[in-house]
Amino acid sequence: MSKTASRTITGIKYVYLAIFFALLSGFFHPLITGAPFDSVIIGVLVLFVGLAGGVLVYKAATSDKRRGIYLGGGFGLIAISLAYIFQLTGRA
């Protein structure tokens, strides 16, 4: 596979994730109720922080050299995402 095709597939994967997260975080709710899109944007950002943490935890499982850094950063980002979720729902 050429380098250009590989980059294209990678780009498509990230666009797919962004669309999935936008739909997951309630993209249609503001359209139906007339509410602002602020909550959708914040929801997508929170999900991306959690996704980045999950990717780092996965990298820790597959890497031998920087396992501690990946684990610390991954679980740290997941904890930050969880704190954002608690803050947005008013439980913190």
Domain extent listing, the chain: 3-89
Would you say the C-alpha torsion 73, 77, 82, 88 has a positive or negative sign?
positive
pLDDT of residue 75: 97
pLDDT of residue 71: 93
pLDDT of residue 83: 95
pLDDT of residue 52: 93
Query: Does residue 1 register a pLDDT over 80?
Result: no
| 3-class SS string, 27-68 | CHHHHHHCCCCHHHHHHHHHHHHHHHHHHHHHHHHHCCCCHH
Taking only the tens place, the pLDDT of each residue in 33-62 is: 888 888 888 888 898 999 999 999 999 998
Q: Which residue's structure tokens are 């109720």?
A: 33
Residues 6+ apart with CB under 8 A from 75: 53, 57
